[in-house]
Amino acid sequence: MVIDKNKVVTLHYKLQEGSSKGNLIEETHGKEPLVFMYGVGQMIPEFERQLAGKKEGDTFAFGIESSDAYGEYDPQAIVTIPKNSFVIEGELATDLLKVGKVIPMRDGDGNQLLGTVKEVRGEEVLMDFNHPMAGVDLYFTGNIEDIREATPSEVEHGHVHGPGGHQH
């Protein structure tokens, strides 16, 4: 069986910055593998494109430029927000206002965003709404452990059920 739309793929990978010599970002070897349904938009499109047609036992090694991964770093995604926006039930949420803290927020249209506190200064908070991996070229190596047909229920729900997947 080969990796194709609506196949459940189980794999182990190592993710590094830019190349095989780059800093380690994440690794699944020795841990739980990645399990996902191919072709339903769960993964970076270029990641899926690179895995298309591979079969159980195959290895892989490929790079993905930042523009095809989490996007380029956008300096306009750095925003100054009034400190009083962090008042909850009449109290300033000082536990949230720590440099490096990732805070779920909503934009003016109600879309959820994740912002990272960059700096707290006076009555303002400098927030970065770029994805933490924005501007980073990715390099993946790994191996395909298993491929199976997705069940009708998994296809209907758009995700994997059971071990490594979503539990209902």
Spatial distance between the Cα atoms of 161 and 114, rounded to a whole number of angstroms = 27
Spatial distance between the Cα atoms of 161 and 152, rounded to a whole number of angstroms = 11
Using 50, 70 and 90 to split pLDDT, how confident is the model at 163?
low
pTM for this one?
0.82
Q: What local confidence, expressed as pLDDT, does residue 39 receive?
A: 94
- Provide CATH 3.10.50.40 ranges for the chain: 7-68+133-157
Q: Which CATH class is domain 7-68+133-157?
A: alpha beta
Architecture of domain 75-128: Beta Barrel (2.40)
- Provide CATH 2.40.10.330 ranges for the chain: 75-128
Spatial distance between the Cα atoms of 151 and 31, rounded to a whole number of angstroms = 25
Per residue in 16-65, pLDDT tens?
999 999 999 999 999 999 999 999 999 999 999 999 999 999 999 999 99
- CA dist list (Å): 119 to 5, 56, 122, 127, 160: 44, 47, 10, 7, 39
> What is the H or E stretch that residue 45 is in?
helix 45-51
- Whether residue 47 contacts residue 64, with contact meaning beta carbons closer than 8 Å, is answered with yes
Distance, CA of 103 to chain centre: 16
Spatial distance between the Cα atoms of 162 and 81, rounded to a whole number of angstroms = 42
